Amino acid sequence: MEFRGSVAVVTGAAGGIGAALGERFHDAGATVVLSDRAGADVQTIAARLNARRPDSAHVVIADISTEHENERLVHEARRIAGRIDLFFANAGVAMGTDLSASETEWNTSFDVNVHAHRWAAKYLLPDWLAAGRGYFASTASAAGVLAQIGSAPYSVTKHAAVAFAEWLSITYGSRGLRVSCLCPQGVNTAMLRGGDRPAENSAINPNAGNVVRAAGAVLEPHEVADAVHDAIVAERFFVFPHPEVADYMKLKATEHERWLGGMRKLQRRVFGV
């Protein structure tokens, strides 16, 4: 993947990892289309990037929790920038705790963390397959290959996000589609610090952030963006800004009972149960 001269779309681009990705791709020479929900301060980021290189950063306000808005985002980005070379489905939510999580929390988690990827790909793939090239990347989480102590909806939907990315790569990789899946542990973002709150004003277990901190280093978004850039240039599927995640995956695969025991021990350490 060559960023210079390409067009990259990033969702959830108003802050955190999404903002860092947009800036990193722009620094590498891409024209970027930044997308987030209404009210998110994504225009400020685009203005800062355009001050460096005029007409190189654009904004499409979209709520990617619906199919219609994903379709509109893809069409509008193509209208503005002419094409899409890379689509980075980064937007995500962290909500819900155990089996008491509400249906709203479960449904919103699936819509944003999983279905948004599926809906975007549905409208991206026809043009990409016709051209014989395209790049789809998504943000899952280390929880998507391991587990999220403290949140069933987050753990389940992030596993599904990884599975969908793998399916895309398997199904269309021989037809020119490249796929990457970002799976970080702790990153210094609003999600780690507080989580997203649904209508019932319930959120991910407040101790979930402590689980992440206990598991390893908390990186800054720009460090994650650097790792993503390098992985996409190399066209690697998994992006592990925390290298230890790969080691945990090996343990999970080869000594699953030991891994489960270690996760229960970590849960007791943080939650006391």
Report the Cα 262 to chain-centroid distance in Å.
26
- C-beta neighbour count of 220 within 10 angstroms: 13
Span between the terminal Cα atoms of the chain, in Å: 46
> What residues contact 148, with CB distance under 8 A and at least 6 apart?
141, 154, 155, 158, 208, 211
Active-site hit among 135, 154, 172, 248: 154
CA torsion 125-126-132-135 (nearest 10°) is: -20
CB 33 within 8 A of CB 60: yes
Residue 154 annotated among the catalytic residues of the structure: yes
Distance in angstroms (rounded) separating the CA atoms of residues 206 and 141: 18
Phi, psi of 66 (to 5 degrees): -130, 155
Locus of tokens 């962290």 = 94
The amino acid at 206: P
Distance in angstroms (rounded) separating the CA atoms of residues 102 and 66: 19
Report the Cα 124 to chain-centroid distance in Å.
17
Q: Which residues are catalytic?
A: 154
